[in-house]
Each structure stands twice: as C-alpha cells, then as structure tokens.
C-alpha cells in the first residue's frame, strides 16, 4: 500500500467523524512517528509532511554522509557507498534526505499503523464527545429518535452522537417513533468501556426548569427566577418563582394569557399538571400557597421535628391531600418540611366505625356517655379501663382506630 492509498482510506471516515484538518494531521504524524520508532529505533531524523485534504503524505529520512568505515550511528549517518546509490555525486559530510515509502515499513508495521490510526481517531472522537457533553450537562438538547428499545431509546444529535434515554428517565406518557425529534436534559456523561455514554432525562426537575427558561422570556432575562421545582413526572409539578421587579407578577408571567405560555410546556410533559407558586421566605404563607387549592384554617410549625401541622375544614381535606397524595407530597418537597393534615373541628359518630369496631364495644362506650370519636379520645386509657368492662387490648385497638381517622 502506498502513502496516497493509506490516506485515502481514511478520508470518508474523517468526514463522517467531523475531525478538523489540523487534528487529523497531528494524529497521522503521531501514528507514523510511532511506526518509525519501531522500524528504525528513533524518529529524530525524520520529517513527516501530511496533507490529509489531498491525501498526500511524505516521509523523509535525514542522515549525514560518512566514509564507509566511519559509521558510528546508523540512525543519523549513511555510508558514502549507500548515499551514492541515491545520488552519485554525494560527498562525505553532506546531508542526505531519502524518501521512505510506507511499503518499506513492512506488512506487519502497516497493519499495526492502520489499527493505531483508527484507535487514535476513535480516542480523539470519544474525548471530543465527552468534553462537549460535560459542558452541556444540565442543559436541554434536541435529537432524533434512532432506535426504540424496551429499556431505553437511542437518540442521535446533529453530529450523529449516540445519546441514551433510559426507560426510567422517560415520562410515563412518552411514546417515541423512529425519526421523531425529542427534547431532553443531559443528566450525566459516563464512560462505558472506552466510549462515553451520554444519559438523557425527561423526568429530572431540571428538565422542567430549563423548559421554563426557554419558554418564559422574563426567566431567560433574569427578571424572574425559579427558586425550586418538584415533580411527579407526567402527573403533577410545583414550580416556585420569584420576581425581582415589583411591577411584574411572576405567576402571571409564567402562565401567560389564558395559559398561553405554559400550555406548550404541559404538552411537552405529556399533560403534566403544573402549579406555579409565588415564592416567599414566610414558611407559613408558602405552605398555604403550596397546598392550594385547599383553604387552610391554621398552620403550626415545629422547627424541632421539622414538621408542619395543617388544619383544614373536612371538605378541604381531599383538596389538600390531592389525588393519590400528590398535592401534599409535592408541597412537602417544595417547603422542605413534613406536612400533616388534620380536620378542623371535625368529629365522628361511633356508628361510623361499625365496620372496624364491634357493636357491643360501641354500646359499652356509649353507656359511659361517649357517643363520638372525640369524646372517647378525650378520656385517658386508664379512665376508659376504670369506667368500662373492656379489656386493655380492646381499648388499645379502639384508640388506634379512632386516632388514625384524625391523622388522615
């Protein structure tokens, strides 16, 4: 294989990988110098001229002419008789530049050279991808679905880099088809074997935060800032925002006229219900806003246990808790406290517990004037034991059942 053929064999590969000319030139020179060291023991007396655009590569070996019996360093000196085979008028002391053909390196050396060149180009490509996506970490990228697998979706970006969107990082409502565009957050860049593995996410709270930054000009301009985002992907999210301009309502700016600004984000997240909340450092007020649409009667904050007790009217309990407990769970994450919901002023007739407490036990409690759950709980365990014929185990069970109703 001649010099031209070797370079041409990598021209298509170079264009596909988008390696710039200077980088490819440096890689080629490094690889050839490695091959020369193995063949001649040194590369000090060689000039390598590479022009990958034209497929041109020349290797010149430089030595000084010495008398045939005066050769001390074959790497740097050439006998006069050998020099005159190159050009018959060479004299002792002159410099000789001799072109080295790739074929002169030997078949094994050429094979090793090709393998080394491929390895170095892939190594460079991997390093470039690693660096690029490390810089893009926590930002949103757009790619095209290349392949859908049971546990992941493979996405290609504009440079044909392979990005991985694992199933657990997909929104439950996500359905992907080959060729479709996809937006996702660059969550992590890992080394898998020798290749960088770019992990994407559509469930990370930062994905929602970046979508707000892209869709809301006031956030992009820094007039409104996002203080915190909490999500149950595909179901519900709460976003706390704050405005640095008193003239701008941060919630209204994020939602837009008739929801015009937030609708696009909701569609991107497969219909995820997004509550935008005006942030405040007043924890009691923040809890009230976070638990909307429920109206709170009172809020008690226990800094020691880092818990908040919220009291609401009975018909507000379901609103505060939300579907499947979503509202209270997200409110707790947003505020940073555990939240307990209690019914304000609520009481229950003992007959409402007939499915859990036997009738004769209820009759026994009524015989001492206890007709409601609160009236029983207002008495101590010792007093209940003294005033009724009930066993201690039975009273413990009754107190547990009744207390649980108020803890819900």
What is the C-alpha separation between 160 and 180, in angstroms, rounded?
A: 14
Give the mean pLDDT of the chain. 87
Please write the tens of the pLDDT for every residue from 87-116. 888 888 888 888 887 777 777 777 777 777
pLDDT the model gives residue 229: 97
| Residue 121 in domain | yes
Residue predicted with more confidence, 129 or 172: 172
Structure tokens at 201: 């996410």
pLDDT at 4 over 50: no
Angle between helices 283-290 and 326-335 (to 10 degrees): 150
Q: Is residue 394 situated within a structural domain? A: yes
Residues 45 and 150 in one domain: no
What local confidence, expressed as pLDDT, does residue 16 receive? Answer: 46
Higher pLDDT, residue 203 or 377: 203
Supply the pLDDT for residue 143. Answer: 94
| Residue that terminates a domain, selected from 242, 261, 276 | 276
- The answer to whether residue 36 is domain-embedded is yes
- The residue that leads in pLDDT, 8 or 259, is 259
pLDDT band at 55 (very low <50, low <70, confident <90, very high): low
Tell me, yes or no, whether 116 and 153 share the same domain. no
Q: In this structure, are residues 336 and 329 in contact, taking their beta carbons and an 8 Å threshold?
A: no
CATH number of residue 221's parent domain: 3.30.300.20
* Confidence class for position 1, pLDDT limits 50, 70, 90: very low
Do 258 and 292 share a domain, yes or no? Answer: no
pLDDT by residue (tens digit) across 231-247?
999 999 999 999 998 89
> Count of domains in the chain?
5
Q: Which of 68, 96, 125 delimits the end of a domain?
A: 125
What size, in residues, is the chain?
Answer: 408
264 and 329 share a domain?
A: no
pLDDT recorded at residue 407: 65
Average pLDDT over residues 270-297: 94
Q: How many angstroms separate the CA atoms of 327 and 132, rounded?
A: 38
pTM over 0.85: no
Give yes or no: residues 83 and 176 share one domain.
Answer: no
Q: Do the domain assignments include residue 130?
A: no
- At residue 141, what are phi and psi to the nearest 5 degrees? -120, 155
Whether residue 62 is found in the same domain as residue 107: yes
| Same domain, residue pair 264 and 293 | no
Counting residues of the chain whose pLDDT is more than 70, the rounded percentage is 92
Statement to judge: residues 49 and 95 lie in one domain:
yes
pLDDT of 11: 52
- Answer whether residue 323 shows pLDDT above 50: yes
CATH of residue 146's domain is: 2.40.50.140
Q: Is the pLDDT of residue 214 over 70?
A: yes
Higher pLDDT, residue 52 or 218 = 218
Q: Average pLDDT for residues 284-294, to the nearest whole number?
A: 94
| Across 34-49, average pLDDT | 83
Least confident of 345-349, 353-357, 367-371, 380-384: 345-349
The packing angle between helices 205-215 and 260-268, to 10°, is: 140
Residues 37 and 77 in one domain: yes
Higher pLDDT: 212 or 377? It is: 212
Q: Residue 105 is part of which domain span?
A: 3-125
Q: Examine the domain organization and report whether 336 and 272 are in the same domain.
A: no
Which among 276, 294, 318 is the end of a domain?
A: 276
**157 part of a folded domain:** yes
Residue-wise pLDDT tens digits, 68-84: 888 888 888 888 888 88
Q: Which contacts (CB < 8 Å, 24+ apart) does range 325-331 have?
A: 326/232, 326/235, 326/236, 327/236, 327/291, 327/294, 328/291, 329/232, 330/230, 330/231, 330/232, 330/236, 330/237, 330/238, 330/275, 330/290, 331/238, 331/287, 331/290, 331/291
Residue 131 falls inside a structural domain: no
Residue 202 has what pLDDT? 97
Quote the distance between the C-alpha of residue 407 and its chain's center: 38
Co-location of 315 and 362 in the same domain: no
Kindly state the average pLDDT of the residues 122-144: 87
Q: What is the CATH classification number for the domain harbouring 84?
A: 3.30.1480
For residues 150-183, one letter each, b for 16 or more C-beta atoms within 10 angstroms of the residue's C-beta and e for the rest, the string is eebbbbebeeebbbbbeeebbbeebeeeeeeebb
Whether residue 197 sits in one domain with residue 159: yes
Residue in 380, 385, 388 with CA at minimum distance from that of residue 364: 388
Distance CA 210, CA 206 (A): 6
The pLDDT > 90 percentage for the chain reads 48
Please report the pLDDT score of residue 374 as a whole number. 84
Q: Are 58 and 3 in contact (CB under 8 A)?
A: yes
pLDDT value for 17: 54
Residue 58 lies inside a defined structural domain of this protein: yes
């Amino acid at each position: 294989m001649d010099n031209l053929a070797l370079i041409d064999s990598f021209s298509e590969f170079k264009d596909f990988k988008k390696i710039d000319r200077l980088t490819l030139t440096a890689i080629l020179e490094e690889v050839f110098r490695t091959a020369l060291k193995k063949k001649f023991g040194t590369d000090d007396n060689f000039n390598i001229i590479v022009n990958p655009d034209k497929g041109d590569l020349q290797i010149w070996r430089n030595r000084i002419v010495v008398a045939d019996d005066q050769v001390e360093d074959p790497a740097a000196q050439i006998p006069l008789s050998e020099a005159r085979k190159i050009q018959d008028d060479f004299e002792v002391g002159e410099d000789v530049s001799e072109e080295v053909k790739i074929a002169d390196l030997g078949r094994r050396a050429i094979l090793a050279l090709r393998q080394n060149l491929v390895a170095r180009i892939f190594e460079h490509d991997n390093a470039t991808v690693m660096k690029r996506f490390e810089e893009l970490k926590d930002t949103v990228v757009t790619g095209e679905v290349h392949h859908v697998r049971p546990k992941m979706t493979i996405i290609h970006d504009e440079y044909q880099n392979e990005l991985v969107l694992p199933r657990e990082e997909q929104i439950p409502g996500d359905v992907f088809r080959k060729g479709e565009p996809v937006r996702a957050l660059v969550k992590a860049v890992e080394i898998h074997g020798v290749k960088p593995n770019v992990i994407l996410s559509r469930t990370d709270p930062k994905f929602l935060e970046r979508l707000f930054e892209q869709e809301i000009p006031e956030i992009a301009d820094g007039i409104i800032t996002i203080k915190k985002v909490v999500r149950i992907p595909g179901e519900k999210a709460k976003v706390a925002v704050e405005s640095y301009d008193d003239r701008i309502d941060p919630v209204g700016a994020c939602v837009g006229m008739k929801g015009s600004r937030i609708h696009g984000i909701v569609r991107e997240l497969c219909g995820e219900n997004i509550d935008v909340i005006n942030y405040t450092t007043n924890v009691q007020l923040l809890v009230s806003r976070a638990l909307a649409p429920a109206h709170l009667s009172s809020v008690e904050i226990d800094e020691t246990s880092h818990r908040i007790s919220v009291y609401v009217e009975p018909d507000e309990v379901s609103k505060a808790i939300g579907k499947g407990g979503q509202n209270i769970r997200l409110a707790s994450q947003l505020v940073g406290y555990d939240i307990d919901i209690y019914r304000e002023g609520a009481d229950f007739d003992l007959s409402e517990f007939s499915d859990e407490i036997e009738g004769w036990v209820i009759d026994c409690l009524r015989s001492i004037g206890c007709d409601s759950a609160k009236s029983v709980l207002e008495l101590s365990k010792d007093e209940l034991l003294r005033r009724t014929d009930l066993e201690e185990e039975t009273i413990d069970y009754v107190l547990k059942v009744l207390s649980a109703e108020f803890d819900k």
